[in-house]
Chain A
Amino acid sequence: MNQSEWPLWEVFIRSKQGLDHKHVGSLHAADATMAIQNARDVYTRRLEGVSIWVVESTHIHASNPDDAEAFFDPAADKVYRHPTFYDVPDSIKHM
């Protein structure tokens, strides 16, 4: 087992119907079936979920931290992109 580590999987749990799956962590497993079972045992012990997704970590492509300036900083001074210039009527909840 030490010579050939099982691949890493990222785990996403939907905490209740209607909500999105959220990333909760990662784990090792030999294949998808085992990854889902492991996720059930590791991440849903306390009633955290109603549905599990797993994705092999190698299939996730991340943005490069070196690009952070070019990617994200330009949005900082564009407040007009936020929908904050409207008065929300009192009767609208959950905004």
Chain B
Amino acid sequence: MLLTMQAAPSESAALATYSAEVRQLLFQYVLQLADTSLILGHRLSEWCGHGPILEQDLAMANIALDLLGETRSLYQYATELEGKGRTEDDLAYLRSAVEYRNPLLVEQPNGDFAHTIVRQFLFDNFHYPFLKQLKSSPDERLAGIAEKAVKEAAYHLKWSSEWIIRLGDGTPESRQRVEKAIASLWRYAAELTTPTATEKALQEAGIIPDYAALQPTMAAHVARVLEEATLPTPPASSFGLAGGKEGRHSEHLGYILTELQYVQRAYPGLTW
């Protein structure tokens, strides 16, 4: 799926102006973004053929494909930033779990439909406002990728928000399931907006958005959706789990990579 297509433009002018240090930081960061959408996309693709109804099966496959498209643009940019001749396939298929930089939230298992929806909602609620800001990054490549992805993310957020409302304000069973999912996943949300050292440095350099500035929008949307869903808002100070963005993952990621990377690991260099 990540077949290398050599459509990448020659090294942009902006790339040459970065110091080696910024370039390294940016490489790490772009990898983090790519890993995040790859892993979440992979999780959603696991629903393919198992959705509760055909229409939602397709909806999840669509979102998975949107995320995979974003992943590819990001990995392509990452290979250019790194400049060591690695391809996007190398980055996706030949790195181990500790080298992956996705936040813990996106690697959490699908669970039931409500669990998948809550995971998606927490991610979309960050992803959409984040991309909206990233559009005005002075880094043209990131701005371009954000420009394309933000339209997709707007729909993802609409879709997952709609489902939170339906499940929360639905039947006793749907409500109980969505409450359970919120109770188990909320603790992973804070990592999305807690900057790592890499992110801090890039925020200070003005290349990526300041997450603190996204908080009011994010909090307002969560409050609106939960209220409409007649669900209580979990306390903001809930205990948070983090570490994925620095390579400290839950055991789940290893299983995802085992499946995702199997062919390249078993038949190194295989192409088709």
Report if A50 contacts B (CB, 8 A): no
Q: Which of A1, A28, A37, A42 contacts B159 (CB 8 A)?
A: A37
Give complex CA distance A33, B155 in Å. Answer: 13
Q: Which of A1, A33, A40, A45 contacts B53 (CB 8 A)?
A: A1
Report if A34 contacts B (CB, 8 A): yes
Give complex CA distance A42, B162 in Å. Answer: 17
Give the size category of A's interface with B. Answer: 10 to 19
Report if A77 contacts B (CB, 8 A): no
Report if A55 contacts B (CB, 8 A): no
Min distance, Cβ B201 to any Cβ of chain A, angstroms: 39
| A41 lies within 8 A of B162 (CB) | no
| A33 lies within 8 A of B162 (CB) | yes
Which A residues lie within 8 Å of B58 (CB)? 41-42, 45
- Given A37-B159, A37-B162, answer yes or no on A42-B53 (Cβ-Cβ < 8 Å): no
- B42-73 with Cβ < 8 A to chain A: 52-56, 58-59, 62
Which B residues lie within 8 Å of A38 (CB)? 55-56, 59
| B55 lies within 8 A of A41 (CB) | yes
A28, A29, A37: residue with the most chain B Cβ atoms closer than 10 Å: A37
The prevalent SS among residues of B at the interface is helix
Min distance, Cβ B2 to any Cβ of chain A, angstroms: 20
Min distance, Cβ B123 to any Cβ of chain A, angstroms: 18
Report if B166 contacts A (CB, 8 A): yes
Which A residues lie within 8 Å of B54 (CB)? 27-28, 42
A28, A34, A37, A41: residue with the most chain B Cβ atoms closer than 10 Å: A41
Q: Which of A1, A27, A33 contacts B55 (CB 8 A)?
A: A27
Give complex CA distance A34, B55 in Å. Answer: 10
Which B residues lie within 8 Å of A27 (CB)? 54-55
| A29 lies within 8 A of B62 (CB) | no
Which A residues lie within 8 Å of B56 (CB)? 38
| B52 lies within 8 A of A41 (CB) | no
| B52 lies within 8 A of A42 (CB) | no
Which B residues lie within 8 Å of A1 (CB)? 52-53
- B61-113 with Cβ < 8 A to chain A: 62
Report if A32 contacts B (CB, 8 A): no
Report if A24 contacts B (CB, 8 A): no
Q: Which of A28, A30, A33, A37 contacts B59 (CB 8 A)?
A: A37
Give complex CA distance A24, B254 in Å. Answer: 43
| B162 lies within 8 A of A45 (CB) | no
| B55 lies within 8 A of A28 (CB) | yes
| A45 lies within 8 A of B55 (CB) | no
Chain B interfacial positions (CB closer than 8 Å to A): 52-56, 58-59, 62, 155, 158-159, 162, 166
A-B contact pairs, 13 of them (CB 8 A): A1-B52, A27-B55, A28-B55, A30-B166, A34-B162, A34-B166, A37-B158, A37-B159, A37-B162, A40-B155, A41-B58, A45-B58, A45-B62
